[in-house]
Structure formats: structure tokens, C-alpha cells
Structure 1
Amino acid sequence: MKAKFALIALTCATVALTTQNSMAQDPASGFNPQNPWTVELETGPAWFKRNNVRIPNDIGTRFDMLNLTDNGPDPFLRLYATYEFNERHALRLNIAPLEASGNGVLPNPVRFQDTDFAAGADTRGRYKFNNYRLTYRWMFHRSDTWHLGLGGALLVRDAEIALRQGNLQDSDDDLGVVPLLHLYGAYHLTPRTSVIAEFEGAAAPQGRAIDLNLKVQHHITPDWHVYAGYRTLEGGADNDSLYTFAWVHYATFGVGIRF
């Protein structure tokens, strides 16, 4: 009986030591050649801080879309799939739908596209900015304490703004591709817990796109992790055809698995 208890204790100690060593050698966001894929699902509430529109930009009327859609909070979902080729190079696909709709009144008459909408009448507004991103990351520095990376992303935007007032309705949709700069930094508080900051963005005279994310991530096991944090998304366009700028805040909660 004593030998059996000793064997069980030795087995438990070996497993615990192996797990601890594995986590110490492979920090929270480290590379595992046996499990190169990571899938994450992110959710939480999102608030609009700003959503201003003028379409067309030359003869249209600038109005605040939040008078119709409100500023939230509204739930959101994001999906990430990352493939690590090795310790230095990775590709990530990000699917990030964003939509807000609601009813309200326009405080002033609005000319939107080819339609004139009256002030004070019940009006339905819809704002959609679904974006799909493919990101390449080069991890140029890796240590037990810090992971630092940079790269680039291609953002495909599927956007639409629509107004409806009684029998009147009009909309503007846009499908385009935008290149973004990608920056990544992770500070490992422990082998299981990290503080992670990410930035993707670009700016030009015709507009900008900024996606900034800060989160605390904890590994429950070497393969499963959870995280919580804050994200801000800001950007828009100011060109000959349209003016539209939005700013959104997110409280983020996510779960991920490596396989």
C-alpha cells in the first residue's frame, strides 16, 4: 500500500513538474511546433463614441448617425485564426463584423445620396462596417519576458450606410481593400499570464484606420487561454465622394485554443 501511494505521488509530481517546465520553456504566447494553429473567439459590449456622415461630400448634409442608432452598448463578435510557421513568422485571419441600426429623428433636414429626408420625422438608420483582415507578423524579438513583432495587414471592408423614412430610402455601400501597419508587443508577467498590446492602422490625407487593442491573457493549460481587455476602433474617409468617420470602444472577453 505504501509503495502504491509512493508511486501515485511520484507520478503526480512528475506530471506537475513536466507541466511547469513546459510552461516555463514555452511562455504564454510562445510557439509550439506540434500545435501551430490558434483559434480565438472574442465578444463583449461595444459603444459608439462618434459616427458622422455626409454623402455625397460636396452637396450632401452632414449628420450624426447616433441620433438614429444610439451609441450602444451593443454586443459584438470577432473570430481569429492564426497559423505559426515557426517562432518568427505567422499569418492571422480576422473576421470582425460591426453593425448598428435603430430609429430616431433627424434634428435638421438631410440630403443623403439623391434623397432629401425631413427633420423631426421617424427615421431608421443602419450602419455596417464588416471587415476581414489577413495579417502577417514577424516576431523579431523573443525572450522569456518580451515578445515583439511587426508586420502588415490587408483589410477588406464591406461597408454600408442606409436611411429610411416612410417610403423614402437610400443607401451607400462600399467594398475596398486597405493596407495596414501591424505592431505587436507582449510582456510575460508569468509563464502563464501576459499583457499584450496590438496596433493595426494606416493614415493618408483621404482618411485613416486605427485599431488598438490592450488585453491581459492567461493560459489555463498550455493549449487553452482566456483574456480580457479594451479595444478602440477609429477611422473613416474624407474624399470627393463621401465623408464618414466613426469611433468605437470595446470591452473585450475572449477564449482561445491552440491545436
Structure 2
Amino acid sequence: MISNLFKRHIFATFMCLNAGVASAAEPGWDLQLELGATFQQKNDVQIPNDNEGTKFALDEISGSGPWATARADINWNIDEKHGMRFVLSPFSYSESGSLDEPVRFAGEEYAPDERIKASYRFNSWRVGYRYNFMDREDWRLWVGGTLKIRDAEIKLSQQGVSSKDDDLGVVPLLYFAAEYQINPEWLVQADFDGLAGGPGRAFDISARIAYRPDDKWTVGLGYRGLEGGVDGDDVYNFAWFNTAFTSVAYRF
């Protein structure tokens, strides 16, 4: 009798562990929200990217932050292998400071040691496909591709003088994600969207420690790094942002 009870206990424990693991690949919808504090590590600009423009550090005007940011990730698990991703990631700031030297930007000239306003926008809207090529008790791995719609603008204003450069374009990215199950409730997650080549590059990478109390809710703490830019005929801009965030996810 004791032996039978022990076997039933082991079997029940095994089923619970596998239920928590299998739920990560079940068809359905996941909504994940991130709320974070974003710091600017660098933001170098030259527009136009020739002798008519001056290369300067936008972060010397605006400072390093932090700025409050939010991001939404929507995952549609079509089946246990195939899924779609939708990402809404807006970001912008407007700050005032001063320049150390004269700057020519987007057809206007700006004086040093005088108050100047810098506005920066980099909204990222994405749609992607992912394939779950490994689904074990402890590890789950995905690979796929992403189309990123880049909605960007840089603007300077000083004593009635103002100029800006904006850009709206589509960028293809490679996608990779991993999840390691420490135990039935705790896990480590990481994801990557990125590609380098031609005149520019874009990298978006994150890692988090997450707690999953049941098969519906997941909360986590993590870091996200965004780095990239373009060195083209008209525009030079490379930026690097770091975000510390908390996240909450719900499975429908």
C-alpha cells in the first residue's frame, strides 16, 4: 500500500511538472507588458552625412535619462510549433541643454553655449514569425524573422530656429528566443531581434528572470539593450539605450 501511494505521488508530481512545461507551447495568445526606465548611453548624429552637417552627440544635450518607457509583446501560438509575434515599442523624449561647438544640422546652424532643445523619437512596430524547434522539460528554443517598421525623428530648436529629419522605413530582422525552466515556477527567458549589414545595423536583446505561479500569469524583472543605426549618404545616427524593466504576461 505504501509502495502504491508512493508511486501515485511520484506520478502526480511528474504530471504537474510536465503540465507547467507543456503549457508554454500550447496554442493560444500571450500578452506581455514591460514597464521600464530607459537610459541613453550614446546617440551620435550627423545630418546630412557630408560637409554640410556636423557630427555631434545628441546625448550631450539631452543627458542620459532615465525616461519611463512601455512595450507590449503579443504572441499568437498557432500550434505547438508555429507562432506569430506583434510588438508595440514607442520611445521619445524632449530635453534641453547646450552645445560645446557650432553645429550644422538639417540645413540650419546652432550656436554653442546657448539653450537648445533636442527632441528624439524612435518608435518600433514589428510583426514576425517564430518556430519552436526545441521543446524539452527544461529548454525551449525559437527561431524566426521579424519585419520592423521604424518611425524615427530628430529635431533641434534654438531661438526661433528649428530643423528636423524624420524617417519611416521597414527593416528585416532575425529572431531568436530561449527559455530555461529552473523549476515549475521559476524560469529564465531571453530574446533577440537583430541584423547587421550594408550601411546599418539593429540589435534588440533582453534577458529576464521570471516567476510563473500558474499556467496563466508570469511576472519578471529584466534588462533590455537597444543598439544600432545607419551610416548612409544622407544620415549618420548610431544610438545605444539600456532599459531596466518589470514585466507581466497573461495567457488567454
Under a length normalisation based on structure 2, what TM-score does the superposition of the two structures give?
0.92
Q: Report the counterpart of residue 5 of structure 2 in structure 1.
A: none
1:208 lines up with 2:198 in the alignment: no
Match of 2:160 among 167, 171, 178: 167
Match of 1:239 among 232, 235, 241: 232
Partner Cα separation in structure 2 for residue 19 and residue 99 of structure 1: 48
Deviation of 1:20 after TM superposition, in Å, equals 8.4
Partner Cα separation in structure 1 for residue 23 and residue 70 of structure 2: 22
Report percent identity of matched pairs.
Answer: 38
| Contact 1:28/1:193 (8 A) holds in 2 | no
Partner Cα separation in structure 1 for residue 174 and residue 162 of structure 2: 37
Which segments of 5 or more consecutive residues in structure 1 lack a partner in the other structure?
A: 1-16
Match of 2:39 among 16, 24, 47: 47
Deviation of 1:100 after TM superposition, in Å, equals 2.0
1:192 lines up with 2:218 in the alignment: no
Other structure's SS at 2:234 match: coil
Deviation of 1:120 after TM superposition, in Å, equals 1.1
Partner Cα separation in structure 1 for residue 115 and residue 250 of structure 2: 46
Q: Report the counterpart of residue 30 of structure 1 in structure 2.
A: 24
Other structure's SS at 2:237 match: strand
| Contact 1:123/1:164 (8 A) holds in 2 | yes
Which segments of 5 or more consecutive residues in structure 2 lack a partner in the other structure?
A: 1-10
Shift of the 86–19 alpha-carbon distance from structure 1 to 2, 3 Å rule, reads: farther
1:120-199 pair list within 5 angstroms: 120-199=113-192
Partner Cα separation in structure 2 for residue 164 and residue 29 of structure 1: 52
Alpha-carbon RMSD across the aligned residues, in angstroms, is 1.7
Give CA-to-partner distance per residue, 1:106-161, whole Å, 9 cap, x none: 11100001101111110000011000111211010100011011100000010000
Deviation of 1:164 after TM superposition, in Å, equals 0.2
Q: How many residues align?
A: 241
Partner Cα separation in structure 2 for residue 63 and residue 128 of structure 1: 17
Partner Cα separation in structure 2 for residue 89 and residue 26 of structure 1: 19
- Could you list the structure 1 runs, at least 4 aligned residues long, displaced by more than 6 angstroms after superposition: 17-20
The one-letter code matched in structure 2 to 1:55 is I
Partner Cα separation in structure 2 for residue 248 and residue 236 of structure 1: 12
Under a length normalisation based on structure 1, what TM-score does the superposition of the two structures give?
0.89
Other structure's SS at 1:121 match: coil
The one-letter code matched in structure 1 to 2:230 is A
Q: Is the deviation greater in 196-205 or in 244-253? A: 196-205
| Contact 2:205/2:225 (8 A) holds in 1 | yes
Give CA-to-partner distance per residue, 1:186-209, whole Å, 9 cap, x none: 111012221111111011130100
